[in-house]
Amino acid sequence: MISEMTERPIAHWRGQERYGNELLESLTIIFKSGGCSWSKCRMCSYRHERYSGQQPADILSRYLSAQLSWVLNHYNFEEYQMVKIFTSGSFFDPQEIPPGFLYEVAKTFKGKLIIAETRPEFIETEVISRFIDTIDNGNWKIPLYCAIGLETSNDRIREKSINKGFTFSDFIKSAEILHSAGAGVKAYLLFKPLFLTESEAMIDMKISIKEAMTYADIISMNPCTVQRYTELEYYWKRGAYRPPYLWSVLSLLMDAPVHITCDPLGGGQKRGPHNCGKCDYEIVKAIRDYSLNADRDLIRTMLEIPCNCKKEWEYVLSSEKNYCLPLTL
């Protein structure tokens, strides 16, 4: 017998999220699930947060329902309009989240605006349409957004630096399915995956934003963080990786053709995007504020902070070289 008292999500918190020109109250839930079916991305440790062993669908559904009840008991339903759902992989993967639970979530949060993360291969017209029919009460023109970790529009970087296991054209196909079913698309882009210099990563992000904009309604940039027990951590511990500079993040947000949201996780710490330690705190705060208020003057002001590490960043941009393969054998 599963004790409903002991089952709770991996994480949950209340916050705010910018949606168009509005600021919505949000609830974020990270459900512990059957785990990511792919489980191979070089920078990801979320995939380790799963129920161990293969759980039969009915047991998994009971665990998940218990987590959902826990959330409903701890947050006042009337106080948030948006629900952001993450799992240890993909919300729409039937192996990870039994389909019955999908519709339990949709019924429970009827009338809310849902953002749910998933890999593109799990986006199917029938599943998405049924989810929308269940959740929709007319409150929102688009009641569901699927968040896809596209990471970059460059297939070579996605394959070699991330090992993501899908292509840009897979993302485009899923975006088309979502739009025809009446759902929206949120693209997550990863800033500075493994094996890129700071300037290569900036070029990749600029191109990716432009190319993803055609298909995504919302774009969010994740500056890379070194998570534990990952391949990225292996390289980082050997001095072969540095998380991105916050100067780069500011500069990308400043130049982006659309508003990009960004929550620099681990910002200012060794494992997260960081500068010198002196200027980090106010820059991280400004980036978080900018995600909510879209005030580019704030970003401009931050770029003008007189900190000595800016010269270091400029030097890195101009002089850092990628791995030097043997020129001859």
Binding site for ligand SF4 (CB under 6 A): 36, 38-41, 44, 46-47, 89, 119, 149
Q: Closest approach of Cβ 6 to ligand SF4, in Å?
A: 24
Q: Which residues of 24-33 are buried (b: 16+ CB within 10 A; e: fewer)?
A: eebbbbbbbb
Q: Closest approach of Cβ 39 to ligand SF4, in Å?
A: 5
Q: How many chain residues bind Zn ion (CB under 5 A)?
A: 6
The position carrying tokens 């292509």 is 167
CA 230 – CA 241 distance, rounded (Å)? 13
Q: How far is CA 146 from the centre of its chain?
A: 11
Strand partners, 262: 221
Q: Closest approach of Cβ 283 to Zn ion, in Å?
A: 8
Nearer to ligand SF4, 42 or 112 (CB): 42
CA 50 – CA 148 distance, rounded (Å)? 20
Nearer to Zn ion, 150 or 279 (CB): 279
Does 302 bind Zn ion (CB under 5 A)? Our answer is: no
CA 96 – CA 35 distance, rounded (Å)? 6
Does 307 bind Zn ion (CB under 5 A)? Our answer is: yes
Q: How far is CA 169 from the centre of its chain?
A: 19
Nearer to ligand SF4, 135 or 216 (CB): 216
309 binds, among Zn ion, ligand SF4, none (CB under 5 to 8 A by kind): Zn ion
Cα torsion for 92, 98, 103, 106, to the nearest 10°? -50
Nearer to ligand SF4, 146 or 283 (CB): 146
Nearer to Zn ion, 115 or 309 (CB): 309
CA 273 – CA 63 distance, rounded (Å)? 35
CA 166 – CA 22 distance, rounded (Å)? 33
Q: Closest approach of Cβ 299 to Zn ion, in Å?
A: 16
**Stretch near Zn ion under the rule CB under 5 A, chosen from 44-52, 164-172, 188-196, 301-309:** 301-309
Q: Closest approach of Cβ 194 to ligand SF4, in Å?
A: 13
- What three-state secondary structure class fits 106? helix
DSSP class of 161 = I
Residues 6+ apart with CB under 8 A from 261: 17, 18, 218, 219, 220, 221, 291
Q: Closest approach of Cβ 259 to ligand SF4, in Å?
A: 24
Does 275 bind Zn ion (CB under 5 A)? Our answer is: yes
Nearer to ligand SF4, 36 or 172 (CB): 36
218 binds, among ligand SF4, Zn ion, none (CB under 5 to 8 A by kind): none
Nearer to Zn ion, 70 or 245 (CB): 245
- 283: tokens are 């820059």
Of 33, 150, 170, 185, nearest in space to 96 by CA: 33
Q: Closest approach of Cβ 22 to ligand SF4, in Å?
A: 29
Q: Binding to Zn ion (CB under 5 A): which residues in 223-252?
A: none
44 binds, among ligand SF4, Zn ion, none (CB under 5 to 8 A by kind): ligand SF4
112: how many CB neighbours lie within 10 A of its CB? 22
Contacts with Zn ion by CB under 5 A lie at 275-276, 278-279, 307, 309
